[in-house]
Structure 1
Amino acid sequence: MTSYSPFLDVKDDTPGGRLKAARIAKHMYLIDLSTITGLCTRTIGLVESNKQIASPPTLRLLSKALDVPISFLGCFEQLPETTLGNRITKARLYHGYTKREFAKLLDVDVRTLFNWENDRFAPLDSHLNLLTSYLDIIMKE
């Protein structure tokens, strides 16, 4: 169980299990969560059963509706941090950004971000300065 979830009964410590536990803790049915988020019940059900991975925008909607961190729903604390690329990916996901959204925030193209996340090359110092505020979130775990 994660450090965030002591109040949740998380029997299935997967993204789907955490989503379901958070929904049940809020005394919501699938239809309630669907109404609040605008997502269809089928999508939420597929995510809860781990048959579909929720995209960052979907996680943002669910996170807001359930009042839990995006990182909790995505199980992102389980991602590796062995390289700078791993840490950039983890920080992006913790903040709930797609590659396209994160690249735009950093004023780089998606291909550059892809190369950073895959450790093909390192960000320049000017980009590292921008990245620092995003990377700080994973240092505080």
Structure 2
Amino acid sequence: MADKSESEWVRVLSEDGWTFIVPRKVAVASGTLKNTLSTGFAEAEAATCHVPHRGAIVEKVMEYLSYKTLYESAGPKEDIPEFSERIQPELALELLMAADYLESRSDYPFARFSTVLQWFLLHSCLLVPFGFVRTYQCTVWILICLGCAT
């Protein structure tokens, strides 16, 4: 029997108590979770990772990592559904922060989750209530929200 640290499944816990059981292959698509699971600490031994975000956010990130893992070997002619259609506008900024924390690996053929979210924010209805009509204004608004511009 394989030891627990080499289990095929990983438990991901959110800050508000939600538990997500995901295949190890999905979890290690995140640089942060991969590092956590490859150490000799208790988290790796128990195959359990704590993520400092609420359950709805962790669920969507795990969904994206599953999507990314599923389609990573897709051929160029295979029809791949657009993931940004699954993102609710009210979750976008929190998802961007979680994606940054979890370091979605960029060596896959897909863009990093944070890149997908930035595109979504630029092109979504989130900007309509603020009266943004130009891409430049949208970009500045996002940079200000992320603390990258003043």
> TM-score under structure 1 normalisation?
0.30
Larger strand percent = 2
Larger helix percent = 1
Larger Rg: 2
